[in-house]
Amino acid sequence: MSDPTTDPTGSPTGNPSGDGRQVHNYHGPVFNDPVSGAQLAWNNRSVTQNQQNNTAVAPGFEALAALVSDLLRQLPEAGLTDRDREDAEAAAQEVLAEITGPQPPEERRLRRAVNGLKGALAPVATGVAAGTAIGAQEWAQSVIGSLAGLV
């Protein structure tokens, strides 16, 4: 005969204090609110998890998405200071977030994000930014010109 305060595995059940409250013992994760996009591995020795969040680019903004994605790939070789590179990356991510979000891009927010990106690249384009790589000035000028033509 088993003890009434334990389940067959020996885990405590009920409320040993006897105050009438029910105590639940869970042997795994418990979510009390909706969970979306989470990955969870529980009680295993090894696991490989992959997740893809493929977001579609809003129609008509494909060229802008391609330009900004290419800019993000080339940015580390531009020779910018860490601060300038971080500013340019943040502005580029804002542009991508606006054109890949669940809602259609808001023109005002997109224009503001693109202007932030142009502003982050302006010191390179004008040659003011010290330490930029050879060819970075022309690259930044070209990107700024292309951005102006897309928004």
> Within a 10 A sphere around the Cβ of 57, how many other Cβ atoms?
16
pLDDT for residue 81: 79
Q: What's the rounded Cα separation, in Å, for the pair 50 and 140?
A: 35
pLDDT for residue 85: 85
Q: What's the rounded Cα separation, in Å, for the pair 135 and 102?
A: 37
Q: What's the rounded Cα separation, in Å, for the pair 94 and 116?
A: 9
Whole-model pTM over 0.75: no
Residue-wise pLDDT for 117-142, tens only, equals: 999 888 888 887 765 677 888 888 89
Sign, CA dihedral 64-67-70-75, equals: negative
Residues of the chain with pLDDT under 70: 1-20, 36-39, 45-55, 130-132
87-94 CB contacts, 8 Å cutoff, 24+ apart:
87/120, 88/117, 88/120, 88/121, 90/116, 90/120, 91/116, 91/117, 91/119, 91/120, 92/68, 92/117
Chain-centre distance for alpha carbon 141: 27
Crossing angle for the helix pair 82-100 and 107-125, nearest 10 degrees?
160
Amino acid at 108: R
Q: What's the rounded Cα separation, in Å, for the pair 114 and 108?
A: 10
